[in-house]
Chains A and B, each alone.
Chain A
Amino acid sequence: MHETYFTGGVFSSSIDGGRAGADIELAHDAIKASAKDGQLFTLRYSDCNVEMGGFNNKMVFCRNEDRSLTIFTEDKKFSAALAFAAGGLLDDQLQAGKNKVKSDKRSGRNFVLICMVCLVVGLTGLYYGIKIAGSAAVDALPVSVDKQIGRHTFTGMELGGEEIHDPVIVGAMETIVERLAPHAALAGLDYEVHVVRSEQVNAFALPGGIIVVYTGLIEHADQPEQVAGVLAHEISHATLRHGLERVGQSLGVAAAVNLLIGNVEGLVVLGAEVFKLATVNSYSRGQETEADSEGVRMLHAAKIDPLGLAQFFEILKEEGNGLPASLEWISTHPDHQARIINIRGLVAELGPQDYEPLDVDWDDVRRRVDDMN
């Protein structure tokens, strides 16, 4: 059984203001609307033109021929009740109205969907655009900025141990760096090696070329080539300017504004803060892979066996089961198995090279490190 009474409204020029709410009745042969101002309106089913739409696409409009009278309601049961009351007279019009509403809804949904897709594509483009622009801006900066950021960072840094000046140990590290330096991808860096007494198995290079090696790392290396592998990897972060990229990404707009107004000093201070706040070695996975490739290239060019890097990963992998906290370097360089495979793959692709041993008395270096403990 269909309902007969509904709540809705009327548009008519005979109402002051042209519209009013109304109580609607589906009578025997006509729609009757009793407006709130007391006027009664009647529209015969045979004279009725049905339209559908409104803001929610749920409204049914019953209008006379010249559209001077419109009776409407949003009641969802009205459509079926009207079809029943009109005895099939309005079925075609109601069906056409429903089809139009369906089509409007579909096109509305499609439009929203297209806008959402455009928004996602736009945001993705913006993200990568900023990244590319950031890289380009970093490339354009003089090397002196790297040096200043590195110096600022190093000055305020807690190294976690006492710096040692043993000429044999420090000399061995300098020998390695001197072999690598001529083959660096970025010219103009001033390499400076600091050795710190600590159980930490760790080493890092700051922007500009300041290199810090922990005695724990030397203790764990069987061959100087293994330390050379680690140092080549770390120097690559500096020569590929990964630190500056990180500063650019962390500071975002602040870095861009400082670059735009030429305030390099401001960028240096902000950049050093970024380094102090984060772990020095926390580079992205992409940057680590890049540093592996560049390190291998540098080692190969310097005639140092690049497999030393892979071997060092293997040593740490064996010793690192349970990962003691002192194995700092391995904890910031995860996925070592995949990287060993990657490094071996890179070495296999390189052309033949006559590797020359490093001019270092490694046994003496290890003994002196042991004596310190």
Chain B
Amino acid sequence: MDHEIRNRPSFANIKLNLSAGESIVAEADAMASMSGTVTMSTRWSGGVMKGIAKRLFGGESMFVNEFTTESEGELILTQPFPGDIECIELKGNTMFLQPGAFIACDPGITLGLGWAGFRMLIGGEGLFRLKVSGEGRVWFGAYGGIFQKEIEDEYVVDTGHLVAYEPSIGVKVGMAGGLFSSFFSGEGLVTRVSGPGRIYMQSRSFDGLAAWTNSHLW
């Protein structure tokens, strides 16, 4: 199955060409359009309890849709907010995704929910994160552009900009600088990541959008 990420980076969407017998698993409501030859079946995301947990804590849907075709067909998947989409290929390795980032994956990928800890909650990244592992492709989205970085030593990411990271990445949440600069620089808390490993970041943050919108409401 070949794929193309189109209209990057602002309004990215995934175009997949399914051949006979191929299938793809996607987040509920991710489908924008598809050929009449493609059929969709809905199932709990990893079972009833796991599905509910993903809805409550992982920012994902309780259900996932599996798209398949007996002949061939086209499928367009998208995300609810403007921004880029990235495709990564897992070869038996694991990746953590921030809540709401997951869009689709090959059927060989396992989706799980993991405890991220209070430090991530304080850092504004949520108590839980999605764990994707196995062999196959995973598509995830971000608000704004996506850029990746190989981390060796410590690297600082503002809270709300981390989208995906490998389990080998160490994460600490701390103040951006001293007490004064942390409060008045507008940076507040930041995430300090350390390698080895790869992280994916988004060029915009939802908190930034919310704060900007809020400032124009009064």
B172 interface contact, C-beta 8 A: yes
A54 interface contact, C-beta 8 A: yes
Known: A18-B198, A19-B93, A67-B152. A54 touches B119 (CB 8 A): no
Residue of B nearest to A21 (CB): B92
- Is the Cβ of A19 less than 8 Å from the Cβ of B91? yes
Residue of B nearest to A112 (CB): B118
A4-48 residues at the B interface, CB under 8 angstroms: 9, 11, 15, 17-22, 35-37
Contact segment of A55-63, A172-180, A280-288: A55-63
B125-169 to A contact mask, C-beta < 8 Å, 1/0: 000000001010000000000000010100000000000011111
Q: How far is the CA of A72 from the CA of B133 in the complex (A)?
A: 16
- Is the Cβ of B93 less than 8 Å from the Cβ of A54? no
Residues of A contacting B173 in the complex (Cβ-Cβ under 8 angstroms): 111
Of the four ranges (under 10, 10 to 19, 20 to 34, 35 or more), the interface on chain B belongs to 20 to 34
Known: A61-B196, A108-B119. A17 touches B89 (CB 8 A): yes
A53 interface contact, C-beta 8 A: yes
B180-207 to A contact mask, C-beta < 8 Å, 1/0: 0000000000000010111000000000
- Is the Cβ of B166 less than 8 Å from the Cβ of A19? yes
Residues of chain A at the chain B interface (Cβ within 8 Å): 9, 11, 15, 17-22, 35-37, 51, 53-57, 59, 61, 63, 67, 70, 72, 74, 104, 107-108, 111-112, 115
A-B contact pairs, 30 of them (CB 8 A): A9-B94, A15-B91, A17-B88, A17-B91, A18-B150, A19-B93, A19-B166, A20-B91, A20-B92, A21-B92, A21-B94, A51-B196, A53-B170, A54-B167, A54-B169, A54-B170, A55-B165, A55-B169, A55-B170, A61-B168, A61-B196, A70-B196, A72-B168, A72-B196, A74-B167, A107-B172, A108-B172, A111-B119, A111-B174, A112-B118
Q: How far is the CA of A293 from the CA of B133 in the complex (A)?
A: 70
Residues of B contacting A22 in the complex (Cβ-Cβ under 8 angstroms): 92
Residues of B contacting A70 in the complex (Cβ-Cβ under 8 angstroms): 196
Interface of A is mostly: mixed
- Is the Cβ of B196 less than 8 Å from the Cβ of A37? no
Residues of chain B at the chain A interface (Cβ within 8 Å): 88-94, 96, 118-119, 122, 133, 135, 150, 152, 165-174, 194, 196-198
Of B93, B150, B165, B174, which is within 8 A of A9 by CB?
A: B93
Of A35, A63, A74, A112, which is within 8 A of B122 by CB?
A: A112
Residue of B nearest to A56 (CB): B167
Residues of B contacting A17 in the complex (Cβ-Cβ under 8 angstroms): 88-89, 91
Q: How far is the CA of A18 from the CA of B167 in the complex (A)?
A: 15
Residues of A contacting B96 in the complex (Cβ-Cβ under 8 angstroms): 55
| B93, B165, B169: most-surrounded residue (chain A CB, <10 A) | B93
For the complex formed, measure the closest distance between the CB of B128 and the CB atoms of chain A, giving whole angstroms.
Answer: 13
Q: How far is the CA of A59 from the CA of B169 in the complex (A)?
A: 9
Residues of B contacting A54 in the complex (Cβ-Cβ under 8 angstroms): 167-170, 197
Q: How far is the CA of A112 from the CA of B189 in the complex (A)?
A: 12
Can you name 16 extra interface pairs (CB under 8 A) apart from A111-B119, A112-B118? A11-B197, A15-B91, A18-B150, A18-B198, A19-B166, A19-B198, A20-B91, A20-B93, A37-B91, A51-B196, A55-B165, A55-B168, A59-B168, A63-B196, A74-B167, A115-B122
Residues of A contacting B118 in the complex (Cβ-Cβ under 8 angstroms): 112
Residues of B contacting A37 in the complex (Cβ-Cβ under 8 angstroms): 91
Q: How far is the CA of A18 from the CA of B196 in the complex (A)?
A: 12
Known: A108-B119, A111-B173. A35 touches B167 (CB 8 A): no
Q: How far is the CA of A56 from the CA of B94 in the complex (A)?
A: 14
Q: How far is the CA of A115 from the CA of B174 in the complex (A)?
A: 10
Q: Which 10 A-B pairs have the closest CB atoms?
A: A21-B92, A36-B92, A20-B91, A53-B170, A36-B91, A21-B93, A112-B118, A9-B93, A54-B168, A115-B122
Residues of B contacting A72 in the complex (Cβ-Cβ under 8 angstroms): 168, 196
Residues of A contacting B172 in the complex (Cβ-Cβ under 8 angstroms): 104, 107-108, 111
Residues of A contacting B91 in the complex (Cβ-Cβ under 8 angstroms): 15, 17, 19-21, 35-37
Residues of A contacting B93 in the complex (Cβ-Cβ under 8 angstroms): 9, 19-21
Q: How far is the CA of A56 from the CA of B173 in the complex (A)?
A: 14
For the complex formed, measure the closest distance between the CB of A36 and the CB atoms of chain B, giving whole angstroms.
Answer: 4
Residues of A contacting B174 in the complex (Cβ-Cβ under 8 angstroms): 111
Q: How far is the CA of A108 from the CA of B121 in the complex (A)?
A: 13
Residues of A contacting B135 in the complex (Cβ-Cβ under 8 angstroms): 21, 36
Q: How far is the CA of A341 from the CA of B133 in the complex (A)?
A: 72
Residues of A contacting B171 in the complex (Cβ-Cβ under 8 angstroms): 55
